[in-house]
Amino acid sequence: MFGYYTTLAIRGLRSQVALTLLIIAAVGVGIGASMTTLTVYRGMAADPIPHKSARLFRPQIDNFGPAGGMGPAGEDGLQDRLTYTDAIALLQAHAAFRQAAMYATGLVITSADPGHRPFDTYGRATSADFFAMFAVPFLYGTAWTTRDDSDHARVIVITRDLNDRFFGGANSVGKAMTMNGEDYRIVGVLDRWQPLPRFYDLDASFGRPEDVFLPFTVAVEHKMQFGNVNCKKAGAGWDDMVRGECVWVHFWVELPTDAAAAAYRRFLDSYADEQRRSGRFQWQARTRLRNVREWLDYHHVVSTEARILVTVSFSFLFICLLNAAGLMLAKLVGRAPDISVRRALGASRRAIFAQCLLEAGLVGLAGGLLGLILTGLGLSGLHALVSDDVRVLLHLDALDVGIALVLAMLATIVAGVYPTWRTARLQPASQLKTL
Amino acid sequence: MLKMKQLSKIYRTEVVETYALRDFSLEVKEGEFVAVTGPSGSGKTTFLTIAGLLEELSDGEYWLDGVDVRGLNDYRRSRLRNEKIGFIFQAFNLIADLNVQENIEVPLRYRGLGGSERRKAVNEALTRVGLAARARHYPSELSGGQQQRVAIARALAGRPRVLLADEPTGNLDTQMARGVMELIEELHREGATIVMVTHDPELAARAQREVHVVDGQVVDFAAPPRLVGGIETHQ
């Protein structure tokens, strides 16, 4: 009977066309509004590295104590970043399975080829473990080694985009690239990789990714500038910021088991206590170790406003569905005579219910398709209004399309339950008497 | 075939109870053609809707083809209605956006018949009512008489045990009404059991037996006079 009900449902859509279109419009507008906000929200709330997010940790140490330092701190008073001193100490301790210190820096890339003009770009100074720890895919070559880190080797890994731009997509491993006036040897080319949000450095959660990766040791040696820095006291120049109590180094560790995470927590506490005993800290320094999800929550990567917006838009969808339910009721009441005839000819309530609910599902499907078009328009409109950082989230993927269609169909079926139930409960005799 | 015993139908509101049928008893035997007559509001149509399992009775007993219908759930009532009863309505009640063939197929679909069985039954029924050439026409393309013939074909297609007709010629002009009535009589001669509700004494006179209903009660089981060879007789 499913095929028959489907045929009837399609015929039902074609009858009372104006009402059908109104219902589709009500569902479509609601889906369009809710999917537009949901798409942005999903982009913000997505787990950027789902297969490892529970095993990657961000350590924090209370460098500034109760007095605090200059610049913002988290809700718990802790700074996001570590001092250079602490970062190096943690690296040298090798207490984690993998570990990487890092910071973002600006670079000027030049080329001997007159066809390439010099240009500014972002680079990330980091440790060799960065690539394995974050499961970064390579198109050509590999990461540099920890030996390269300690040897201050002038090696770099570049992104696929930069490789396309400079080398026409050919394998550039082994070739040289001039940055800030010095030559670096390319050891690897990344494949497409852009975790969103960029959890490992939330200074630009959704911003343009860096083009070049180079060893942390080399960047510090060359005094490559870093971005955000908070100090306990105002510093004076590079050495003060590197050697003094200034936090600017992002630090991540990979801890493959709960036991390893617990051990690392003890290690961090022990390290902080050691700093107090040595007289560096005059306070009982707190430490924290947060995994990726906890880190994103701690930073409110998904803003309260975004959550409210999603709630509001889904409330709007609910109102649209109430309207759709009313329109469906009107439509089905208009078809009461036909339904009564079907009842007289042997259709059970169950059969009428199934037929009408299938029709609601088809209306939902049509509403979902309209909603997708409106979502596309909504996202296009937002493109013009938001910053580059957020723009990267404004796209529909296959999952969004699936969510929109399933949501539309389910929501419309739910909205159609009451009108359908009412229709199935019609007393055919009362209708047939008046025919 | 159809047996009602002290059947009642009460419509209740918060303030009043109305008996549409009261102590209504009637038996229709297989192959009988019974006319149910009575003034407007007497309960004729209520009787028909209860007989057709479109409404539940309030009290009493009702057997349809040997099945006690009291307490049956909706699914079983619908199934019974589909298999045992063919309806012929005053207003034809064809579904406007289905063509003739699809209209006739409706009860067969709910019975779960396959495509070839349905087509065979539809062709037979349409041939029987003389509209085999109109299978692809829509109701709006047919005259009133033709629409009623399609409705009769729809009622016949499922080979029901009893045909329930509610003022079957009420919406037709005299000529068309005559044609439809002749078809109903022909069906009866072929063995169909027919219960026809009408307020038209002339139509009632063409039935084998007339049951008169007043205020929801059967008041008379008189056999209507029949004209046989121009002489009025009583059975």
Assigned token pair, A216: 């942390």
Same-domain pairing of A206 and A69: yes
pLDDT at A285: 82
| Complex ipTM over 0.90 | no
Give CA–CA dist A276/B195, Å, rounded: 104
Say if residue A81 is in the same domain as residue A144. Answer: yes
Among candidate residues A223, A254, A285, the one where a domain is terminated: A254
Residue B28 lies in a domain: yes
Establish if B47 touches chain A: CB-CB under 8 angstroms. no
Position B105 in a domain: no
Q: Determine contact: A429 vs chain B, CB below 8 A.
A: yes
Q: What is the mean pLDDT of residues B134-149?
A: 92
- How many domains does one find in chain B? 1
Cis ω before A195 (30° cut-off from 0): no
CA distances from A173 to A130, A141, A144 (A): 19, 6, 12
Q: How far is CA A18 from CA A71, A107, A203, in A?
A: 61, 61, 51
Does some domain include residue B100?
no
pLDDT higher than 60, residue A434: no
DSSP, residue by residue, A357-402: HHHHHHHHHHHHHHHHHHHHHHHHHHHTTS-HHHHTT----HHHHH
B107 to chain A, any CB pair closer than 8 A? The answer is yes
For residue B178, what are the CA distances in angstroms to A35, A416, B174, B175, B204? 63, 46, 6, 5, 13
Asked if the structure places residue B71 within a domain, the reply is: yes
**pLDDT value at residue B234:** 41
DSSP string, A81-125: SEEHHHHHHHHHHT-SSEEEEEEEEEEEEE-SSTTS--EEEEEEE
Q: Which one of A345, A351, A433 has the shortest CB-CB distance to B45?
A: A433
**Distance in angstroms (rounded) separating the CA atoms of residues B64 and B68:** 7
Residues A320 and A418 in one domain: yes
Distance, CA of A259 to CA of A52 (rounded, Å): 16
| Domain termination site, one of A213, A230, A254 | A254
Find chain B residues with C-beta within 8 A of A429's C-beta.
49, 54-55
- Phi and psi angles of residue A242, each rounded to the nearest 5 degrees, phi first: -80, -45
Q: Which residue stretches of B39-114 are H helix?
A: 44-51, 74-84, 100-111
- Give the pLDDT band (50/70/90) at residue A435: very low
Q: Are residues A365 and A247 in the same domain?
A: no
Check whether A236 has a pLDDT greater than 80: no
The residue range of the domain holding A321 is: 2-48+303-434
pLDDT value of residue B136: 94
The CA distance from B110 to the nearest CA of chain A, in Å, is 6
pLDDT tens digit sequence for A329-380: 888 888 888 888 999 999 999 999 888 889 888 988 999 999 999 988 988 8
Q: Checking phi first, is residue B83 left (phi over 0); if not, alpha (psi -120 to 50) or beta?
A: alpha
Range picked from A145-149, A334-338, B69-73, B220-224 for highest mean pLDDT: A145-149
Q: Do A1 and B109 touch (CB under 8 A)?
A: yes
B143 reaches A (C-beta below 8 A): no
A259 or A417: which carries more pLDDT confidence? A259
A187's tokens: 């050891």
pLDDT of residue A71: 65
Tens of pLDDT, residues B165-184:
998 888 888 888 888 888 88
State mean pLDDT over A257-262.
96
Give the residue numbers spanning the domain of B45: 2-94+160-233
In a domain, A277, yes or no: no
Exposure b/e, B106-127, CB count within 10 A at least 16 = b: bbbbbbebeeeebeebbbebbe
> What confidence score (pLDDT) does residue A144 get?
97
In whole angstroms, give the CA distance from residue B23 to residue A80.
89
Question: Is residue B78 in a domain?
Answer: yes
Chain A residues close to B49, C-beta within 8 Å: 429, 432-433
Nearest 5°: the CA angle A247, A248, A252 is 100
pLDDT score recorded for residue A390:
62
CATH (domain of B64): 3.40.50.300
> Does A288 map to a domain?
no
Structural domains in chain A (count): 2
Say if the Cβ atoms of B74 and A427 lie within 8 Å.
no
pLDDT of residue A228: 79
d(C-alpha B88, C-alpha B154), whole Å: 9
Residue A295 lies in a domain: no
The answer to whether position A190 is within a domain reads yes
Domain assignment present for residue B228? The answer is yes
Question: At residue B223, does pLDDT exceed 60?
Answer: no
B26/B38 Cα distance (integer angstroms): 15
Cα of first residue to Cα of last residue in chain B, in angstroms, is 21
Are residues A145 and A122 part of one domain? yes
Structural domain includes residue B177: yes
Shared domain check, A82 and A39: no
Candidate from A62-66, A263-267, B58-62, B94-98 with smallest mean pLDDT: A62-66
Residue B229: what pLDDT? 41
Reference B224, options B195, B235, B214, B213; nearest CA is: B235
Tell me: pLDDT of A215 over 90: yes
A288 in helix, strand or coil? Answer: strand
Closest-CA residue to B53 (of A351, A429, A352, A336): A429
Confidence band for B7, pLDDT divided at 50, 70 and 90: very high
Question: Is A77 part of any domain?
Answer: yes
A-B contacts at Cβ under 8 angstroms: 70
User: Could you tell me if residue B30 is inside a domain?
Assistant: yes
Give Cβ neighbours of residue A309 (< 8 Å, ≥ 6 apart): A37, A41
pLDDT at residue A7, rounded to an integer: 86
β-strand pairing of A182-190 with A138-141? antiparallel
User: Average pLDDT over chain A, rounded to whole?
Assistant: 88
Best interface-test mutation with A: which of B110, B163, B167, B171 has the largest number of A CBs within 10 A?
B110
The mean-pLDDT minimum among A95-104, A149-158, A412-421 falls in A412-421
Q: Model confidence over A277-325: pLDDT tens digits?
A: 998 888 888 999 999 999 998 988 777 777 888 889 889 989 998 898 8
Report how far residue A295's alpha carbon sits from residue A292's, in angstroms, rounded to the nearest whole number: 5
pLDDT-derived band at A272, boundaries 50, 70, 90 = very high
Q: Which of A225, A254, A283 is the last residue of a domain?
A: A254
Q: Using CA atoms, how far apart are residues A377 and A359, in angstroms rounded to an integer?
A: 27
Does some domain include residue A268?
A: no
A155 shares its domain with A211: yes
Say whether pLDDT at B235 is over 50.
Answer: no
Regarding whether A73 and A40 lie in a shared domain, the answer is no
Q: Do A249 and A152 share a structural domain?
A: yes
Q: What band does A9 get if pLDDT is binned at 50, 70 and 90?
A: confident
Shared domain check, A215 and A90: yes
Measured distance CA(A173)–CA(A160) in Å, rounded: 12
Q: Same domain for A72 and A218? A: yes
Q: What tens digit of pLDDT does each residue of A28-46 get?
A: 999 999 888 888 887 777 7
A71-75, A144-148, B109-113, B125-129: lowest mean pLDDT where? A71-75
A273 within domain boundaries? no
Q: Can you read off the two tokens belonging to residue B206?
A: 């063409």
Minimal Cα distance from B46: which residue of A? A429
Task: Identify all chain B residues contacting A3, using CB atoms and an 8 Å cutoff.
Answer: none
A70 and A37 co-located in one domain: no
Cα separation, B216 vs A382, in Å, equals 70
